[in-house]
Amino acid sequence: MTGPEPKEKAKVWATLAEEARRRIRDREWAPGTTIPNEATLAQEWGVSRVTVSRALGKLAEEGLLDRRRRAGTRVVERPQRAASFEVGLIRDEVERTGRRYGYEMIEAGEHQVPEHVRDRLGITTQPRVMRILARHLSGGEPFAWEERWINGGTVPEALDVDWRHQSPNEWLLHNVAYTWADVSLTAALSGPRSSRALGCEEGSALLMLERTTWLGKWSVTHVAYCYAPGHRMWSRS
């Protein structure tokens, strides 16, 4: 042994998937042609058909193969992989970079609900609604600006929370579990308050993530996060 083994798992199907990728890359399996069927490959590789199926299924998922019953498995002519971006919690995002996470409440209180938020929350009546403005820090530097609306009709307890030391997200996670959310991403110009909070010029371009959270058919909260100028999300894998 020339060195310590770095955690070898060697799932069989993953190995076979890699071998198949190589054959495609090296044109042993040319674009547009049909490759041997599962039974043949299973015999050639000395594994069961299910294992071959998993390996090829992975490549189909990646867009390298096109599999159809009866027709067999073909190498696609022009593979085009979609890029995928994942967004979790701000706190995790910061801590993953190794920096210290910080939270600062700027303002909190009941507030009139503007039109666009009303639409997002699907509000028709006049419930009491909490608005929290805050910012998130990364290693002491401004990282993101948060404008949060919480529907008091769905979560009345939220109207009496002290938001100075606890971010809305963490409170909601602890108190309103098993929700679902729709999330969207867009670009916005910084306004007077967000630019002050982020320490940038007014009129800067900001990446803005919006999330509306639902508990059954009742809206819980709508939040807009504006990342500091220059923030970049990278595609995974």
Partner DNA sequence: TAGTGGTCTAGACCACCAG
Partner DNA sequence: TGGTGGTCTAGACCACTAT
Interface pick for DNA out of 30, 39, 181, 233 (rule CB under 7 A) = 39
Site string for a copy of itself, 4-43 (x = CB under 8 A): --------------------xx-----x------------
Per CB under 8 A, the segment of 71-79, 96-104, 108-116, 123-131 that binds a copy of itself is 71-79
- Return d(Cα 212, Cα 214) in angstroms, integer: 7
Contact between 111 and 222 (Cβ < 8 Å) = no
Instruction: Determine the 3-state secondary structure of 197 from DSSP.
Output: helix
Q: Which is nearer to DNA, 72 or 153 (CB)?
A: 72
Interface pick for DNA out of 48, 97, 186, 235 (rule CB under 7 A) = 48
Q: Which is nearer to DNA, 5 or 115 (CB)?
A: 5
Site string for a copy of itself, 79-118 (x = CB under 8 A): xxxxxxxxxxx-----------------------------
Instruction: Indicate the DSSP class of residue 30.
Output: -
- Return d(Cα 53, Cα 72) in angstroms, integer: 12
Contact between 17 and 58 (Cβ < 8 Å) = yes
Helix or strand (DSSP H, E) at 209: strand 205-215
Structure tokens belonging to residue 36: 């041997």
Per CB under 8 A, the segment of 126-134, 140-148, 153-161, 225-233 that binds a copy of itself is 225-233
- In residues, how long is the chain? 237
Query: Least Å distance between CB 20 and a copy of itself?
Result: 13
Judged by CB under 8 A, the chain residues 165 through 194 that form the site for a copy of itself are: 173-174, 177-178, 180-189
Interface pick for DNA out of 18, 30, 33, 50 (rule CB under 7 A) = 50
Residue 57 near a copy of itself by CB under 8 A: no
Tokens 């609604």 label which residue?
129
Residue 18 near DNA by CB under 7 A: no
Instruction: Please report the DSSP string for 37-80 in residue order.
Output: PHHHHHHHHTS-HHHHHHHHHHHHHHTSEEEETTTEEEE-SS--
Tokens 């919690």 label which residue?
89
Interaction site with DNA (CB under 7 A) = 7, 9, 11-14, 37-39, 46-51, 53-54, 56-57, 60, 67-73
